[in-house]
Amino acid sequence: MKPTYEVRAWRERGWWLARVVAASDGADRTPVNALAHARTLTTIEQTTRDLVATILDADERTFDVDLEYVLPQEVETAVCEAIGARTWFEAAQHLWQEQSTVAVHALRRLGFSLPETAMLLGLSDQRVGQLLRAQAEPGELTT
């Protein structure tokens, strides 16, 4: 298992700063407390990886970085709630896909036509066809 370095990143005076705050068991603790900086959020992780790799004189593929973003309190709740809502949305989409697939296969096994299946589930004929092709059961005809 690769050693992991825990990093906290925050914005200060137009810069993103990141500090290595901990290392996993068995990791070289030398980079702990090292500080990296970058102009943009999109580059702070790579900048931190480069810093740790330089300090360790190691290839950056030999360790992991676990980045935590510290946000201003006035936006932290909103961001956390948005991430939580996205997680629920993705779970609901996955559940919908699974349940729709089960229903499509059950209806088709009972002889319902593709248009009937689509109408009963509130889907288009094309979507029913996609569900049949994407999740076809072994030996089942998808037409």
pLDDT at 136 over 80: no
Contact 108, 126 (CB under 8 A): no
- Tokens standing for residue 131: 């569900």
Own/partner long-range contacts of 33-41 (Cβ < 8 Å, ≥24 apart):
39/14, 39/15, 40/16, 41/9, 41/11, 41/16, 41/69
| Percent of the chain with pLDDT strictly greater than 90 | 89
- Provide the whole-model pTM: 0.65
What are the tens digits of pLDDT across the range 122-134?
A: 999 999 999 998 7
Whether residue 141 is predicted with pLDDT greater than 70 in this model: the reply is no
Q: 134 Cβ partners below 8 Å, 6+ apart?
A: 101
pLDDT band at 49 (very low <50, low <70, confident <90, very high): very high
Structural domains of the chain, ranges and CATH numbers in brackets: 4-70 (no CATH), 74-134 (1.10.10)
pLDDT in tens, 59-69: 999 999 999 99
Mean pLDDT score of the chain: 92
Using one digit for the tens of pLDDT, what is the confidence trace for 13-34? Answer: 999 999 999 999 989 999 999 9
Note whether 35 and 18 are within 8 A (CB). yes
Residue-wise over 13-46: b if at least 16 C-beta within 10 A, else e? eeebbbbbeebeeebeeebbebebebeeeeebbe
What angle is formed at CA 16 by the lines to CA 74 and CA 75, rounded to 5 degrees? 10
Maximal CA-CA distance, the chain: 67
Kindly tell me if the per-residue pLDDT of 90 is higher than 80: yes
Closest residue by Cα to residue 100 from 127, 63, 78: 127
